[in-house]
Structure 1
Amino acid sequence: MSTLAAIGAALVGLSSLVVIVLVLRAMPRTTFALWAVVMFFVPVWVGLDVRHLFLEAITAATLIAIAALGGDLRLSIVDLFVAILVLLAVVQTVIGVVDLSSAATTLLEWMLPYIWGRLVLSRVSPAFVTDIIATCAVIAAALALVEFATKTNIFTLVPFDNSLYEAWGTLQVRNGILRAEGAWGHSIALGAALAMSSSFILASRWRPVVRILALVLIAGATTMTLSRIGLLTLVLVVVLTIVLLPGIGRTIRIVVIAAGALGSVVIVPIIGKVLAGAGDEASGSADYRSTLFSLFRYVRLFGSAQSFKGATVGGDYLGSFAKSIDNTVLLTGLRLGWFALAMFCLIVALVIIPAFSPRWANPASIAITATAPSLFAVALITQFGMYFWFLTGLAVAWQVMREDGSAWQVMREDHDAQTASGAGRVGPVHFGEDEAAAPVPSSPPRRESQLQGGTSHDA
């Protein structure tokens, strides 16, 4: 009887899943909005146990989104290198030179979000994707400021009985000050995610004053993470966006530059005081990251590195790094080998290089470009890793559609309308159920004298 009940429950669950996929397939915008909400506001320790495999909520949401919005794509050379990277991880796991967790990370936390990023623009307009990411980032930033002020993280209030909650559900303190981390499980992950999202805020269809205020909110929340990586990434994203991204009005650029200069006068002394007060903790963190580079000697051509427990470099015991390696580039090499690391670096490079041309730059490629230096100082922890790979796929999709002349049509016409109206007001845009649609013709905008117008497995 219990077997029949289990089979019946499985059939009911499968039927419900099919219905959900079919419903979401008819609502691509809703699908992406729901996925973004899960990404920004559901911690990695929330999920389902499926036969001894813990499926995180964001992984499940990504699988459902891919099934719902899946369609035909024009492939890119980057897709080939991603496929090679994944194939390397799987084959090396099969022959026993890479552990299963490394292959699972590559498949579930790298490949899946990359595929989702590649697919989403085939059904949803770039402008809508930009606005949703910007909106979620602003809400997450507001919650981070509330967390810092109240010293309460609402996402950790309900305990979960799993290893991910034990690893990421504890709050961090630096110099006696609580570091905001939101639903991202770590202050660095939240700071980097907010910084990456700032390009989407500047590229959104919001009024100029709203975009500026939103960027100030993002900067404030990133500061409250007390993360040097987050602040550095934020500066790089904003600078690259105002320099390279087409369609941002002169007024926005001038105001952002002025606000950035003023903000640095306020923020730099605060961060400097906190780090000085942290003393050995802050300097030890920096020394730890620099010492990590000595581990590159253990990277093999193929397969995972041999154990370096017991090894020393300059009197430093390297075995202490066995459980925590805050360096994505190094960690990829140690887990998958030099050849896989070369594929990883090549993928990132092929996203970065076009971003330096205003003709090819887009919010996602700028976010990846600005985050690249941080990959030498942080692992792809919690949702940050999936967000990074989603934006990588999104950047590639944007570039491919730019070559076809379809993606830029929607976004550039939106910005042209903003510039013409001077207030960020856009003519009506038709976002049908299958959004690759062009804007519906509208009457010429009125001219007014207003402002012119943007991994959990590492535990």
Structure 2
Amino acid sequence: MSGILPALSGPTADRLLLAALALAVAGLLLVISRRQPILLAAGYLGVMCFVPIWSGIAVGVYFQPQVLMGLLVLAVAVPRIRRLGGRLAAVDLLVVLLVVGCLAPLAVGTATLSSVVVAAVQYLGAYLVGRLLPSLVGWDRLLRLVLVVFSLLAVATLAENLTGTNPFLSFPGSPGLRALWDGIQIRGGVARAEGAFGHSIALGASLALALPLVLAAPVRAWVRVTAAAVMLGAVVVTYSRIGLVTAVLGVALSVLMARELTVRLRVLLVGAGAAVLAVTAPLLSRVFLAAGDEATNSAAYRADLLALVGEIDALGFSSSFSRGPDGSVRFDSFGSIDSALILHGLTYGWMPLLVVLVLLGAAVVAVALRRAAAPTIAIAAQVPALATVALITQYATLVWFVGGLAVWAQLARPPRPAEEPGDGWPGVPTTDDVPSDQRVGRIPSSLRRPLDTRVAGGRV
């Protein structure tokens, strides 16, 4: 017994305790979610936003917490896929082709188990969760949940900035990943908010990615505008340039192209966005000026990465790939590839990269033709980030999850009334202004057929 106790101390005990807790929570959620799947969706988004990636579980390979929650969602959703009305579309086949292209190089030794798990479990798993979750819990309910969770994330981000305290740094987990991601970044002498995402860019880009979904939630206009304003403020305190760019782009595309937004809501959004930017502009200017040549040097580094494009092979790792004695990965002299698209090509080859570009191009075209649902707009607005930022921490999972939502929404094209309750202009009656005994839903069944006949005949 005395020999066992030392073995169960320190990091080992932490890992066992974390694994036991995760299994207990997973079992409980699995039982509850069969009757209340919305709780499963809340758990998935909650873990995504409020549990750092170092608090995962290693079983041969390392599984991040939100990836484990995604597998739990699939365990509930996949057996019900026939009842949910799931059907394959051409874009699903493209995603399958992409994953097959990422897996194939493993057979000839030009891939690693880690790279395969990332593509087949993290990316494909998140995509499938996005494809199935709306049918499992309902599209409108899911959008409301996204609004609540990401509004809480934004409030927590602002609280971190005001207090200078990040409570997520105390979460237990993998020592190696903690050492890699738990350092607070500084820009211009100011601490950047990171939340549970381990990196300010990942947090800023994730908030920006959620903004079009929040704006499409079927709630009152003032709730959506308030949530969007708080989220924009949270993006500001990450001091991430790409987070700010994609947030503004997401709101702008929503105002111009979204089907779900009323005219009044578009006007309110423009006003609220302008107010947030006006209030925060002096702070942003001061921080970025204090950062000096950081932005210029960062842009120059990303431009240098273009030299690696010519070294992308058809499938698998680029010939420029090397692994150091400490396990670090390099491509030529670059230890960090700050471009999800270039890194994807260097890791999986130009053939899988081509599929990714086709998928992104389809999203951009849908937006340009004004046929894009909210998650499609969100993905299109992230194109600048995907070109200049790597898919890191929870941001990687969130991108693929929203990609799955985009495919579901484009196929389902969920209807949205021209005006939501409470969205009308002052003095103009809305659904809420009509007495309950005068609403269509309260007309006695004996009178409904004559009323429907008159409407159909054009006499009303």
- TM-score, reference length from structure 2: 0.82
2:139 paired with 1:107? no
Letter matched to residue 27 of structure 1: Q
Correspondence 1:201 to 2:214: yes
1:423, 1:320 → 2: CA distance?
A: 62
Provide the alpha-carbon RMSD of the alignment: 3.0
Matched with 2:401 is 390
Where does 1:181-200 land on structure 2 (aligned, <5 Å)?
181-200=194-213
How far residue 255 of structure 1 moved from its aligned partner, in angstroms, is: 2.0
Choose 1 or 2 for highest CA Rg: 2
Instruction: Give the one of 381, 385, 388 matched to 1:374.
Output: 385
1:335 to 344, 347, 350: 347
Q: Which of 53, 59, 68 is equivalent to 1:60?
A: 68
Deviation digits for residues 355-397 of structure 1 (CA, Å, limit 9, x no counterpart): 3344x32221111010012111101100001000000011001
Partner residue in 2 for 1:27: 36
1:81-120 correspondence to structure 2 within 5 Å: 81-120=94-133
Pick 1 or 2: higher relative contact order, CA cutoff 8 A, min separation 6.
1
Q: Provide the C-alpha distance between the structure 1 equivalents of 2:288 and 2:107, rounded to a whole number of angstroms.
A: 46
Q: Equivalent residue for 2:242?
A: 229
* Partner of residue 353, structure 1: 365
Question: Which residue of structure 2 aligns with residue 170 of structure 1?
Answer: 183
Provide the residue aligned with 1:363 in structure 2. 374
Gaps of 5+ in 2: 5-18, 323-329, 444-460
Partner of 2:409, secondary structure, is helix
Q: C-alpha offsets along residues 189-226 of structure 1, whole Å, 9 cap, x if unaligned?
A: 11111111111222123322222222111111100000
Give per-residue Cα distances to partners, 1:217-252, cap 9 Å, x unaligned: 111110000000000001111011111112322222
Structure 1: state its 5+ residue gaps.
3-9, 310-316, 403-407, 428-439, 445-459
Whether the 8 Å CA contact 1:247–1:416 is kept in 2: the answer is no
Could you say which residue in structure 2 is the equivalent of 1:294?
Answer: 307
2:317 paired residue number: 304
- Partner residue in 1 for 2:456: none
Q: Distance in 1 between matches of 2:298 and 2:430?
A: 45
Paired residue type of 2:350 = W
Letter in 2 for 1:67: A
User: Does 2:162 align with 1:153?
Assistant: no
- Give the letter aligned to residue 346 of structure 1: V
1:157-180, CA deviations, whole angstroms, 9 ceiling, x for partnerless residues?
245343221111111111110000
Structure 1 stretch displaced more, 122-131 or 276-285: 276-285
Q: Structure 1 residues 226 and 355 mapped into 2: Cα distance closer, same or farther (>3 Å)?
A: same
Q: Equivalences for 1:305-320 in 2 at 5 Å?
A: 305-307=318-320, 319-320=332-333
Amino acid aligned to 2:381: A
1:253-284 CA distance string (max 9 Å, x none):
11221233333333344323212211133322
| More moved, 86-95 vs 416-425 | 416-425
- 1:73-109 CA distances to partner (integer Å, 9 max, x unpaired)? 1111111111111111111112211222211111122
**3-state DSSP of counterpart to 1:49:** strand
Q: Which amino acid aligns with 1:442?
A: G
Q: Is the 8 A contact 1:351 1:369 kept in 2?
A: yes
CA contact (8 A) 1:417 1:425 kept: yes
1:452 aligns with none
Are the equivalent residues in 1 in contact too, given 2:111–2:317 (CA < 8 A)?
A: yes
What is the number of residues matched between the two proteins?
Answer: 409
Match of 1:54, SS state, is strand
Residue equivalent to 1:41:
50
**Is the 8 Å Cα contact of residues 118 and 396 (structure 1) preserved in structure 2?**
yes
SS at match of 1:45: helix
Please show how residues 254-273 of structure 1 align to structure 2 within 5 Å.
Answer: 254-273=267-286
- Separation of aligned partners in 2, 1:17 and 1:136: 20
- 2:334 counterpart of 1:326: no
